[in-house]
């Protein structure tokens, strides 16, 4: 060994020394010979790579493996084989009896019938199953059974026929899983070949302990360390950026003197729509926009409030003419997944006494709408709700609150566009400029509640500022994400490396 090599060997850690005699073997064999776990072996290989003894190769592979049901079916039988075994005992049998004797669940039984019909193993006539496969067909393993026996297998090595079988099995619950795995291998350098297979003994000290100090000998020395070598990154625990953003928004409103309100994700149509002066035939209440909970009716508030809302819709209040139709209580009792957090504002308004004004409320919560999912839309989203009840406020105050909030969230490019909403007048839309897409992005609406909303709930048509812009689009821009669908993908590297808000 030359002088430089001897110097490197002096730096070897116990892990490296332990695997060097077996560097001519595979990683699995090294683990077996040394009794080290995978993490320790990989760490030792990385240390040796930094010293120039070898090159570590890592390749990501998609591996096709058995799912929970796949493991069970491999040990026993696939559902279609269980049904065949039942039919072998009785080659024609009615459907109910076949299901009972095969002990299959509804889904398994239906899937088995479809599979066996496609393979021309059975026919179904007049509510009975007829076995038409011959003994030779029955004795052979089906392609699906053969495929399960080959697993785990690399997706890249599948044949054309195996790919078709894979697609069929993936449509059936938990039979197949495809997981990303990293395969590790290494190749020795010329320097590594010189030390491979050799045994080294190190009497260098690894750490200072009470025993070392007590029994210190001048001849002893510590192992040398390369202080320029890379060390593993340590990622401390941290909050998801969605939680960070929501907490930041919550803190802003609290600092501005607002009180937080909350409620359930399901609401009656009364609070979600009717209390907000949204007519019962308004398109927004259609199934293509709103998720309804089937077969359930909710409870309405006290009769006094219900009657006032009914009057507001049918004939109007505070000088308005209403919507001029027959308001139906049954429609108001329908349960929906809330489409906005503004339903929380009107509930807070109904509980408020005139003597409590002025008052300020906010909410940041999740909502649901039957939207087409794309880069800027999702079927569930967070909304930042706010409301100010004060006889002395006006539209300028509304714009001031919104500008202050967005400024504190880090957005300077904000503009307001006139808009229409059933429950506010005047109304405005808030837009923020998206730097990456070079366009203005709509965040949501705001305005002053109409008298038809305020008077039935508060008993007096006081000015009430209200807003409910989307919050997820704010998070999207704050986190430098260009697609709403990436917000909840939970890429671990992105979550670790992004800056704290």
428 and 494 Cβ atoms separated by less than 8 Å: no
Is 198 part of any domain?
Answer: no
Q: Report the percentage of the chain scoring pLDDT > 70.
A: 93
Instruction: Tell me the C-alpha distance between 123 and 95, whole Å.
Output: 11
**Mean pLDDT, residues 356-376:** 84
Each residue of 138-186: pLDDT tens digit?
A: 888 999 999 999 999 999 899 999 999 998 888 888 899 998 888 899 9
Residue 471 belongs to domain with CATH number = 3.30.930.10
Length of the chain: 501
Token pair listed for 63 = 């591996």
Each residue of 331-355: pLDDT tens digit?
A: 999 999 999 999 999 999 999 887 8
What are the Cα distances from residue 344, in Å, to 134, 268, 406, 456? 67, 12, 22, 16
Instruction: Tell me the C-alpha distance between 178 and 341, whole Å.
Output: 39
Mean pLDDT score of the chain: 86
Name the least confident of 28-32, 143-147, 469-473.
Answer: 469-473
Total structural domains within the chain: 1
Q: How does residue 452 score in pLDDT terms, banded at 50, 70 and 90?
A: very high
Each residue of 387-444: pLDDT tens digit?
A: 999 999 999 999 999 999 988 888 878 899 999 988 899 999 998 887 766 778 788 8
Instruction: Tell me the C-alpha distance between 150 and 158, whole Å.
Output: 10
Structural domain span for residue 289: 243-497
**Whole-number pLDDT of residue 401:** 93
380 and 367 Cβ atoms separated by less than 8 Å: yes
Q: Report the percentage of the chain scoring pLDDT > 90.
A: 42
Residue among 308, 395, 313, 317 at smallest CA distance from 350: 308
Instruction: Tell me the C-alpha distance between 94 and 126, whole Å.
Output: 9
369 and 379 Cβ atoms separated by less than 8 Å: yes
**Whole-number pLDDT of residue 499:** 67
Token pair listed for 456 = 């039935």
Instruction: Tell me the C-alpha distance between 338 and 284, whole Å.
Output: 12
Supply the DSSP string of 134-184, one letter for each residue: -HHHHHSPPHHHHHHHH-SEEGGG--HHHHHHHHHHHTSTTSEEEEEEEEE
Q: How does residue 301 score in pLDDT terms, banded at 50, 70 and 90?
A: very high
Instruction: Tell me the C-alpha distance between 322 and 462, whole Å.
Output: 18
**Whole-number pLDDT of residue 210:** 86
**Whole-number pLDDT of residue 440:** 84
Is 25 part of any domain?
Answer: no
**Whole-number pLDDT of residue 427:** 94
Token pair listed for 147 = 């495929």
Name the least confident of 123-137, 241-255, 366-380, 402-416.
Answer: 366-380
21 CB-contact burial (10 Å; exposed 0-12 / middle 13-18 / buried 19+): middle
Instruction: Tell me the C-alpha distance between 347 and 349, whole Å.
Output: 5
Read off the DSSP letter of residue 377.
B
Token pair listed for 145 = 């059974």
**Whole-number pLDDT of residue 228:** 73
Is 47 part of any domain?
Answer: no
Is 387 part of any domain?
Answer: yes
Question: Which SS3 state, helix, strand or coil, does residue 9 take?
Answer: helix
Is 428 part of any domain?
Answer: yes
In the chain, what is the greatest distance between 2 CA atoms, to the nearest angstrom? Answer: 102
**Whole-number pLDDT of residue 1:** 54
What are the Cα distances from residue 469, in Å, to 264, 312, 382, 458? 19, 26, 9, 24
Name the one residue in this structure whose structure tokens are 């619950």.
173
Q: Which long-range contacts (C-beta less than 8 Å, at least 24 apart) are formed by 314-317?
A: 316/452, 317/451, 317/452, 317/455, 317/456
Each residue of 209-249: pLDDT tens digit?
A: 888 778 777 666 777 776 776 666 777 777 888 888 889 99
**Whole-number pLDDT of residue 258:** 95
Is 411 part of any domain?
Answer: yes
501 CB-contact burial (10 Å; exposed 0-12 / middle 13-18 / buried 19+): middle
Is 331 part of any domain?
Answer: yes
Is 44 part of any domain?
Answer: no
Task: Give CA torsion, residues 153, 155, 157, 160, to 10 deg.
Answer: 120
Continuous H helices in 25-175: 27-34, 38-50, 68-75, 79-89, 95-102, 106-118, 135-139, 143-150, 160-170
Instruction: Tell me the C-alpha distance between 150 and 137, whole Å.
Output: 21
**Whole-number pLDDT of residue 219:** 62
**For residue 419, what is the enclosing H or E element?**
strand 414-421
């Amino acid at each position: 060994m030359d002088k430089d090599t001897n110097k490197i060997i002096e730096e070897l850690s116990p892990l490296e020394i332990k695997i060097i005699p077996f560097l001519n073997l595979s990683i699995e064999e090294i683990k077996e010979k040394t009794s080290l776990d995978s993490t320790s072996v990989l760490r030792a290989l990385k240390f040796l790579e930094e010293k120039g003894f070898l090159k570590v190769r890592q390749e990501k592979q998609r591996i096709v493996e058995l799912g929970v049901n796949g493991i069970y079916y491999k040990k026993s039988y696939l559902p279609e084989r269980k049904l065949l075994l039942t039919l072998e005992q009785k080659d024609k049998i009615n459907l109910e009896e076949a299901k009972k004797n095969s002990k299959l669940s509804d889904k398994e039984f239906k899937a088995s019938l479809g599979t066996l019909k496609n393979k021309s193993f059975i026919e179904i006539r007049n509510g009975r199953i007829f076995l038409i496969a011959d003994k030779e067909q029955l004795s052979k393993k089906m392609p699906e059974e053969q495929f399960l026996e080959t697993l785990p297998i690399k997706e890249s090595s599948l044949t054309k026929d195996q790919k078709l079988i894979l697609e069929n099995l993936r449509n059936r619950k938990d039979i197949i899983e495809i997981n990303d795995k990293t395969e590790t291998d290494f190749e020795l350098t010329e320097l590594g070949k010189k030390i491979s297979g050799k045994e080294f003994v190190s009497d260098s000290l690894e750490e200072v302990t009470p025993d070392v100090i007590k029994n210190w000998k001048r001849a002893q020395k510590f192992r040398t360390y390369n202080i320029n070598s890379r060390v593993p990154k340590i990622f401390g625990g941290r909050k998801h950026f969605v939680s960070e953003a929501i907490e930041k928004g919550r803190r802003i409103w609290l600092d501005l003197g607002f009180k937080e309100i909350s409620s359930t994700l399901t609401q009656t149509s009364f609070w979600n729509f009717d209390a907000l002066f949204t007519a019962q035939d308004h398109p927004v209440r259609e199934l293509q926009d709103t998720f309804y909970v089937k077969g359930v009716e909710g409870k309405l508030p006290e009769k006094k409030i219900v009657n006032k809302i009914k009057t507001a819709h049918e004939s109007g209040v505070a000088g308005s003419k209403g919507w001029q139709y027959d308001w139906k209580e049954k429609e108001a009792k329908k349960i929906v997944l809330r489409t906005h957090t503004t339903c929380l504002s009107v509930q807070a308004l109904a509980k408020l006494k005139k003597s409590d004004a002025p008052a300020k409320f906010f909410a940041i919560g999740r909502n649901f709408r039957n939207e087409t999912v794309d880069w800027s839309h999702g079927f569930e989203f967070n909304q930042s709700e706010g409301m100010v009840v004060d006889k002395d406020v006006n539209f300028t105050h509304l714009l001031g609150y919104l500008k202050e909030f967005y400024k504190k969230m880090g957005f300077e490019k904000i503009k307001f566009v006139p808009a229409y909403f059933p429950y506010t007048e005047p109304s405005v839309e808030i837009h923020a400029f998206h730097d990456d897409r070079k366009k203005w992005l709509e965040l949501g609406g705001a305005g002053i509640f109409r008298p038809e909303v305020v008077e039935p709930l508060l008993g007096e048509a006081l000015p009430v500022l209200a807003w409910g812009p989307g919050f997820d689009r704010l998070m999207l821009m704050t986190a430098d994400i260009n697609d709403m669908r990436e917000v909840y993908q939970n890429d671990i590297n992105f979550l670790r490396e992004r800056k704290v808000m």
